[in-house]
């Protein structure tokens, strides 16, 4: 929740600066929207900080309340200082300075709150820890390089799929055209992910360089171990999701996977991309050029995933239309029998859907418990 509030503070400041400069993306609606999101996330942080106090000692509770109150007061000052009647008294450059300074103060206050909460976690616990060995700094570099290699291998595999001989006896011209469009869409996604990993690596290096001060990179990673572990996890998720996407695309062409599985894999890529961007955004400086490149790369991945999903849905719709038949020419008994069969099919599908959702809930709960351990 603190990370979300920090992200919302940055988003609000970015939009507000665009608004002050009369630039695209800084219209009133966006300012109001991001302001509401920031206010709501700050409220959630304060409410839950109060909830945490029942789990700690009185001394720790007092410190937590004090730091949380300070963060709330800083957020309140942000909104008060950016009111129109106050900004009207200042020159244009000063207005932007006020917005950036107040945003920095909010982020700093939330960081102090995050560190205070981290200090309450029992030492030696495994909460949130990745099952990894070695130095965190080395692991970040290894996972980023590993993700880059995974993308390269996925691209090579796609190129092999696109260049292999076509079995015209097994597939008709329409099927081959569908396969080509799916492979091209998947190739666009892997190309966008490659740019994403490069941008994420640059952003991570900039964050470490600007934040380590007189300490070493390894000390910075160790000090911000939660953020580091989140970055490692996000890089792994991107690599896994990309491999899943290629396997699904290959499976669709080979007939071992359904189009729906390809859609799920594409959505998994988009989710992993969002996780990687969020992990970098937490520590990125306001108006950072490398973070901006990362955001643009993530947007390209998301758009490529949407294009693939759109392509698959179009194929599915065409297949459904091809299977349609003229029921008006059926005999009465045959028509009634077909209608009852379809009703039974719908009931069976609804039952399977409910069971699948129940299993998915169990899987996700098991995943949550695994992370807690």
Please report, for the chain, the start and end positions of each structural domain, with discontinuous segments joined by +.
2-120, 136-324, 326-373
202 and 290 in contact (C-beta within 8 Å)? yes
**Distant-in-sequence, close-in-space partners of 191: CB < 8 Å, separation ≥ 6:** 155, 304
Q: Half-sphere exposure of 79 toward its Cβ, with a 13 Å CA cutoff?
A: 15
The CATH superfamily label for domain 136-324 reads I/LWEQ domain (1.20.1410.10)
pLDDT band at 73 (very low <50, low <70, confident <90, very high): very high
Class of domain 2-120: mainly alpha
Tokens (6 digits) for 135: 């130095």
Q: Encode pLDDT of 337-361 as tens digits.
A: 777 887 888 888 888 888 888 887 7
CA–CA separation, 100 vs 284, rounded Å? 14
- The least confident of 7-11, 212-216, 260-264 is 212-216
DSSP per position, 175-230: HHHHHHHHHHHHHHHHHHHHHHHHHHHHHHHHHHHHH-TTS-HHHHHHHTHHHHHH
CA–CA separation, 52 vs 42, rounded Å? 15
Long-range contacts of 88-93 (CB under 8 A, 24+ apart): 92/20
Mean of per-residue pLDDT scores for the chain: 80
Q: Encode pLDDT of 75-93 as tens digits.
A: 999 999 888 888 887 777 7
The pLDDT assigned to 128 comes to: 44
pLDDT band at 307 (very low <50, low <70, confident <90, very high): confident
Higher pLDDT, 308 or 220: 308
Predicted confidence (pLDDT) at residue 263 exceeds the cutoff of 80: yes
**Distant-in-sequence, close-in-space partners of 364: CB < 8 Å, separation ≥ 6:** none
Q: Encode pLDDT of 240-259 as tens digits.
A: 888 888 888 888 777 788 88
Higher pLDDT, 323 or 202: 202
High-pLDDT (> 90) share of the chain, %: 7
The pLDDT assigned to 166 comes to: 59
The pLDDT assigned to 221 comes to: 75
CA–CA separation, 44 vs 41, rounded Å? 5
- The least confident of 169-173, 294-298, 329-333, 350-354 is 169-173
Q: Encode pLDDT of 33-58 as tens digits.
A: 999 999 998 998 998 888 888 777 88
Place of tokens 């809930």: 361
The pLDDT assigned to 126 comes to: 43
């Amino acid at each position: 929740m603190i990370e979300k509030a920090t992200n919302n503070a940055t988003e609000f400041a970015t939009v507000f600066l665009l608004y002050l400069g009369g630039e695209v993306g800084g219209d009133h609606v966006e300012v109001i929207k991001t302001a509401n999101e920031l206010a709501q996330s700050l409220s959630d942080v304060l409410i839950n900080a109060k909830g945490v106090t029942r789990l700690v000692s009185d001394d720790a509770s007092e410190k937590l309340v004090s730091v949380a109150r300070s963060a709330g007061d800083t957020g309140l000052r942000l909104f008060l200082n950016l009111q129109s009647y106050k900004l009207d008294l200042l020159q244009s450059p000063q207005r932007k300075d006020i917005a950036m300074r107040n945003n920095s103060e909010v982020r700093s206050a939330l960081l102090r709150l995050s560190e205070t909460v981290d200090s309450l976690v029992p030492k030696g616990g495994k909460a949130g820890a990745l099952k990894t060995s070695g130095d965190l700094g080395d692991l970040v570099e290894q996972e980023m390089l590993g993700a880059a290699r995974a993308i390269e291998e996925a691209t090579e595999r796609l190129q092999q799929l696109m260049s292999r001989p076509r079995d015209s006896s097994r597939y008709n011209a329409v099927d081959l055209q569908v396969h080509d469009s799916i492979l091209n869409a998947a190739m666009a996604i892997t190309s966008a992910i490659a740019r994403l990993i490069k941008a994420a690596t640059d952003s991570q290096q900039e964050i470490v360089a600007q934040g380590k001060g007189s300490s070493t990179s390894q000390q910075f990673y160790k000090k911000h171990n939660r953020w580091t572990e989140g970055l490692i996890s996000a890089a792994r998720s991107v690599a896994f999701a990309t491999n899943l996407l290629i396997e699904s695309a290959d499976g669709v062409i080979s007939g071992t996977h359904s189009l729906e599985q390809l859609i799920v894999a594409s959505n998994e890529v988009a989710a992993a991309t969002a996780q990687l961007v969020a992990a970098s955004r937490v520590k990125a400086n306001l108006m950072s050029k490398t973070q901006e490149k990362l955001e643009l790369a993530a947007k390209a991945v998301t758009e490529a995933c949407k294009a693939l999903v759109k392509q698959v849905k179009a194929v599915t719709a065409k297949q459904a239309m091809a299977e349609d038949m003229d029921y008006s020419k059926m005999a009465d008994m045959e028509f009634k029998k077909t209608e009852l069969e379809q009703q039974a099919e719908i009931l069976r599908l609804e039952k399977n859907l409910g069971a699948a959702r129940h299993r998915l809930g169990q899987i996700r709960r098991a995943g949550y418990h695994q992370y807690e351990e």
